[in-house]
Amino acid sequence: MGKEIEAITYHGTNKMLLGIVLGVLNFWLFAQTLMNMVPQVQFGLGISPQLMSTAISVTALFSGLFIVAAGNLADMIGRKKITYIGFVLSIIGSLFLVFAMNGAMLIAGRIIQGLSAACVMPATIALIKAYFDGPNRQRALSYWSIGSWGGTGFASFFAGAVLSVATWRMVFIISIFVALLGMYLLKDVPESVGENNSSDGKFHFDYLGLFFLIIAILALNIFINFGGKLGWFSMHSLGILAVFIVALLIFVKVEIGKEIVLVDFALFKNMAYTGATVSNFLLNATAGTLIVINTYIQLGRGFSTMETGMLTLGYLIAVLAMIRVGEKILQRVGAKKPMLWGAIITTIGMAIMLMTHLDNTTYLAIVFVGFALFGLGLGIYATPSTDTSVQNALPGRIGVAAGIYKMASSLGGGFGVALAGSVYVMTKSVSFDYGAFCGMMVNVIFGILSIISIALLVPSNAGKPKDK
């Protein structure tokens, strides 16, 4: 009873928030940094480029496969407990990489780290919902978003800094200490558990639902990542897509009418939550912008990796600077307007990068401005969207709602990168300029669709402050 009273009276602190942000940031320390250390890791372990590519992608795959299940477990057995499990898995996964002697240990460590991310992401959002209210919750979600969105840029800088003075393994040694610090900062946070949805009060889990959801997501990931190589309309690709559709339909059929479910479809009766999740998928799909423009600038315009990276500096600065601004706009006018403004600004940023006919100097200036607008729009969108998904989650189902929302991010980003990259590769044979135009047009279309989804699905009063 004492612990229940403590949970009711507890209010989130900056110490708790720092622990949560370190948990989110720690994901990028082991997920993103590996992309910036490919030559060092590949040479150090003596592995093939194909195995290295698998090691990079397998973390996101396992995170996507289990993030909804982890969110579900967080609601059932405790959000702090699942967060701690995520930290422990992070430490174990990092230890595998620190002591890796071959590709098998590398892959095993990356799989464990993917499971860690699946636990930490939804559980920490649910903890914020449980212990922060109103403007304080929105502030906490802003810092959560800074840890998530800013983690990408920070990880790239961090990897370069570490490699200049130490080996690549040092990154994962530091990651272990970050995880331990995060656990320490959260030690005084009381447990938060959702409502028990079973009539007998005992622990139950929807293993059958999880099985078919894994089959569906795995098939979709294979389609997304290999559809371009196999041919989007080839028999192999269509067969994989058919497996996804059949598994998804069976999953829905299994879930409907059960008392204990993995995904409560009543979540999607709330239009604000649906609008936030759908638009989140579509805006994350615009991540294809980064791969198309970065590749085009280097191969089509002849610029170095460093010069190309400098063009995205405006994006990183803008997205970090505008996340708190999006929070303040949310508190004044509600969620719909900043979500719309963010999606529109992001789309404008991508649209001006379609002008591939311009000369080098002019186009590089356009790309810098375009990336800055891209980041500015995403920064404005981030907190209102995340807060809308959390605020409109069913009581006791915050973890699974956050899991679905974050799964939309992962799937959207993967699909957008694969589709935009494939279109660019297929059309650059005409010319690099034409290929970049076509690849970027895919991203612009995703941006337009996100605007439409927000306009149609998110209610005008979503997240609006109540009249005093």
- What distance in Å separates the CA atoms of residue 153 and residue 146, rounded to the nearest whole number? 11
396 CB burial (10 A radius; 0-12, 13-18, 19+)? middle
DSSP character string of 68-96: HHHHHHHHHH-HHHHHHHHHHHHHHHHHH
Mean pLDDT calculated for residue range 109-113: 92
The whole-angstrom distance between residue 334's C-alpha and the CA centroid of its chain comes to 23
Q: Mark residue 201 as left, alpha or beta (left: phi above 0; alpha: psi -120 to 50; beta: remaining).
A: left
455 CB burial (10 A radius; 0-12, 13-18, 19+)? middle
Choose the weakest-confidence range: 100-114, 271-285, 421-435: 421-435
* pTM, two decimal places: 0.81
Choose the weakest-confidence range: 137-146, 224-233, 360-369, 370-379: 224-233
Choose the weakest-confidence range: 26-35, 134-143, 343-352, 410-419: 26-35
- 360 pLDDT band, cuts 50/70/90, is confident
More confident residue, 308 or 267: 267
